[in-house]
Structure 1
């Protein structure tokens, strides 16, 4: 089909339970705390965006980088009558988007500008590359011009912006001190989006994402799963459907300038997740491999450079988020049940 009608011309070796402090939040203050990158990148923008009258108009979401998480949000919005414009770079991907009810938008200047001119809401999933944020590289001027016409802008970032905390708890007030190049670029991208005057920006810092098609079962079944052991290592994670419902809640009740950590309630060592998946499949627990001896790609090894427990209290308090999958056990059981029904 033609691209766009929019064109312009882990159960063993667990770490001891750590009691989490109860953070307090003041929504009247700036969302971010200075780290080594200096001042807060996104001050609260109480008067950003137009007065919402969404029931009187077609709600149109421009999804910049329409990937795994954006598709989960689309599944919630499309049945409500939303129009969703999703970017793509290839004709094959365009056909796949169209089959999902998404209007594909070619990633070029003309098509992107035309799509932005029709959007009431924008979701930014495309991450920064070696040259910075790809969406702003194409659309900074146009987004700046349209900033106060938009009802909501969501930027999907990562909890990697907090850096390594040796397994301690972090929340949205924790200084941003990333230790990886990936995390540094995310902080810079957050700041670049936050610098656009009047933009109704909401930043969502995502933990490790799992969900349908993204879980440990395939590797466990194939016998390729490994239980990498690094003492003290712990990760936070979140089911993609919980990200989608948090985004929808934010769209319903915008709070420009807000920053939210999105993760479940149960940070856990990665080897425990693999062991639990094997248990659910009634398969042998994969053997342990010490981190120092594991054959890992540079990217995979970089994830083990940071260990922290991420708090989600703000998303629960301000968005009213009630997690569908508050821990990996609940999430993996649901994935396996869904596999049996498909």
Structure 2
């Protein structure tokens, strides 16, 4: 099993660490300065800027059996698919990776758009609001077409808001950036990064094909998460702020334009168990390592 992770960032590292049985794991980054971090997470690092594929990377791809694509799309869609199409045409994936047997694409629950707080699952209509979510829909379509043409199973992992060690509400509290923004009836799902890694391994082991929501069990108001983190940390919570009058960047405000409750029942019914199914138990688990010295 040779796993290649394009865009081996926060989620990619968790996926690498969740696959100890892999004989080889490779990962790409835009900067050689990040090679050490990839190596520490069991990956052979390679440079990839999204515009060209080096000879070293081309050679590495020949033995890849499992591909994970984590690079965000742009206005033209998925940069990896577009580059492969330019290099080798419609024969694409199997030409560059003749041993490839399974592919995963890391997407986002943002593709569902706004459902006025209603529950959505993998069969729900996609109503993307933001440009970045529309780009994700385009990239999903590209990957489905490419894998269908190559006769490959494709697992699309739609991820909710990602957090975990070193990237969580406790860090925001410490930096003084935690805010209790209140918008009536607004909820978000979240996902602990280790559960992303475990879900990717679970789906790879089953050669799963299809769309899977990888998200926690409990969509909740964002201000409740901040309040719980402050309670655990023993600090005074920041005051509540009305979303309508709060000073926010356009991107931050755009997140609140999509309100939905995302179901993870499909992957759970397959037998997957989330280690961190809700934010309260997850924050409690994170606190010992996040506690200031």
TM-score, scaled relative to structure 1: 0.78
The corresponding residue for 1:178 is 128
CA offset at residue 132 of structure 1? 2.0
Match of 1:231 in 2: 184
Give the corresponding residue for 2:47: 106
| Matched length | 281
CA-to-aligned-CA distance 1:284-337 (integer Å, 9 cap, x gap): 12101111121111111110110100000001112x111111100011111113
Question: CA–CA distance in 1 between the matches of 2:251 and 2:9?
Answer: 20
The more displaced of 152-161 and 142-151 is: 142-151
Instruction: Provide the secondary structure at the position in 2 that maps to 1:195.
Output: helix
Q: Which runs of 4+ in 1 moved over 4 A?
A: none
The CA deviation at 1:149 is 3.7
Matches within 5 A, 1:211-290: 211-256=164-209, 258-290=210-242
Contact 1:105 1:112 in 2 (8 A): yes
Partner of 1:192: 142
Compare CA radii of gyration and give the structure with the larger one.
1
Alignment CA distance shift 1:70-1:199 (3 Å): same
User: Which digits, 9 at most, give the CA deviation of each residue in 1:103-139, with x for residues without a partner?
Assistant: 1112141343222212000000001023321111222
CA shift digits 1:142-171 (9 cap, x unpaired)? 415357742210100000111101111000
Task: Extract unaligned runs of 5+ from structure 2.
Answer: none
Residues 139 and 113 of structure 1: is their aligned pair in 2 closer, same or farther, counting only changes over 3 Å?
farther
Deviates more, 1:222-231 or 1:137-146: 137-146
Does the aligned pair in 1 maintain the 2:114–2:129 contact within 8 Å?
Answer: yes
Inter-partner Cα distance in structure 1 for 2:97 and 2:42: 27
Tell me, in whole angstroms, the C-alpha distance in 2 between the residues paired with 1:201 and 1:146.
Answer: 17
Matched residue, 1:132: 77
- Unpaired segments of 5 or more residues in structure 1? 1-58
Query: TM-score, normalised to structure 2's length?
Result: 0.91
Deviation digits for residues 56-86 of structure 1, max 9, x if unmatched?
A: xxx1111010111110111122x32431110
Offset at residue 185 of structure 1 (A): 0.5
Higher relative contact order (CA 8 A, sep 6+): 1
